[in-house]
């Protein structure tokens, strides 16, 4: 497993937490940061998956 997949998954979880906390306290900026982290995490996870696929081929 590529380290990008691990880091991407961590960013995705961090983003989900930020969104949840932002909604709970009514902080739109924190929610937006969380959504951005989620997207970044998904992209990084996908890049890691591609690297794994290339490495395994």
What is residue 15's predicted lDDT score, i.e. its pLDDT?
98
For residue range 2-12, list pLDDT tens digits in order: 899 999 999 99
For residue range 17-29, list pLDDT tens digits in order: 999 999 999 999 9
- Specify the DSSP element, H or E, that contains 27: none
In angstroms, the Cα distances linking 41 to 11, 24, 33, 46, 57 are: 5, 22, 12, 9, 24
Domain extents for the chain? Answer: 3-56
Token pair listed for 10: 């961590």
């Amino acid at each position: 497993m590529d380290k990008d997949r691990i880091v991407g998954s961590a960013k995705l979880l961090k983003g989900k937490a930020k969104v949840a906390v932002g909604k709970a306290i009514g902080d739109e900026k924190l929610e937006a940061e969380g959504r951005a982290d989620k997207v970044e995490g998904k992209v990084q996870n996908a890049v890691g998956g591609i690297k794994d696929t290339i490495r395994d081929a």
